[in-house]
Structure 1
Amino acid sequence: MRYADRVTLHKTVGSGYNPETGKNEVQVDTGVILPCNTSPLSLERVKTIFGSINKEVASVRLQRPFKGNPDKAMIGGNRYNVLRHVRHRSESVFYLEEVSVWS
C-alpha cells in the first residue's frame, strides 16, 4: 500500500467572529501533517456504516497508530470533518466527510 498522499489533522480550538468575512468561523490548531493512503468509500458501504447515502466519505489510512483526537482534516486543500477514528494496533483509519466550511 502506498502512502503517497498527505493529510493534515486538526483539533478545534474554538469559534469566533471574523471581521474580515463577517461570519462566525471555527478556529483550529496548526495541525499535524502525516503521510496517508486515501480512498473513497462506495455508496453501499457508506449506507451500511453510516446509514445515509447523502454523504461523500473517504477513508484515510495512516502507517502508524495516531493517539490524538482530531475532529477536522485537510487533504490537498479540501476540508473534511472526521466522522470516525478507528485505532488498530499497527495503524489508524479515519473516515472523513468532505465539507465546504468547517462547522
Structure 2
Amino acid sequence: MRYTDRITLHKTLGRQYDPSQGKTVIAVDDGVVLPCNLSRLGIENTATAFGSVEKEIVVARLQFLYTDDVDKAVISDQKYKILKHIPHKRKSVFYLEGVDEWT
C-alpha cells in the first residue's frame, strides 16, 4: 500500500460568534501533516456502516498508530469532519465526510 497522499489533522480549540461575519467561527489548532493512503468507501459499505447511501465517505489510512484526539481534517484544501477513528495495533484508520464548513 502506498502512502503518497497527505492529510492534515486538526483539533477544535473553541467556537466563537463573529459579528462581522454574522456566524459562529470554529477555531482549530495548526494541525499535523501526515502521509496517508486515501480511498472511497463503497455504496454497500457506506449503507452498512453509516445507514445512508447519500454520504460520500473517504477512508484515510495512516502507516502508524495515531493516538491524539482530533475531529477535523483537510485533504487538498477540502475540509472533512472525522466520523470514526479506528486505532489498530500498528496503524490508524479515519472515516471522513466532506463538508463545506466546519460546524
TM superposition score normalised by structure 1: 0.95
| In structure 2, distance between residues paired with 1:8 and 1:20 | 28
Aligned length: 103
CA RMSD of aligned residues (A): 1.0
State yes or no: 1:100 paired with 2:103.
Answer: no
**Residue 72 of structure 2: aligned partner:** 72
Return the letter of the residue paired with 2:25: E
Instruction: Provide the secondary structure at the position in 2 that maps to 1:48.
Output: helix
Q: How does 1:4-83 map to 2 (within 5 A)?
A: 4-83=4-83
| In structure 2, distance between residues paired with 1:3 and 1:22 | 40
Return the letter of the residue paired with 2:26: V
Superposition deviation, residue 19 in structure 1: 4.2
CA deviations over 1:2-55 (Å, ceiling 9, x no partner): 111100000100111234423211111111100000001111110011111121
Distance 1:2 1:20, change over 3 A: farther
TM superposition score normalised by structure 2: 0.95
Instruction: Provide the secondary structure at the position in 2 that maps to 1:46.
Output: helix
Instruction: Provide the secondary structure at the position in 2 that maps to 1:61.
Output: strand
Return the letter of the residue paired with 1:33: V
- Segments of 5+ residues of structure 2 without an aligned counterpart are none
| In structure 2, distance between residues paired with 1:18 and 1:4 | 37
| In structure 2, distance between residues paired with 1:18 and 1:76 | 26
- Segments of 5+ residues of structure 1 without an aligned counterpart are none
| In structure 2, distance between residues paired with 1:5 and 1:21 | 33
| In structure 1, distance between residues paired with 2:76 and 2:83 | 19
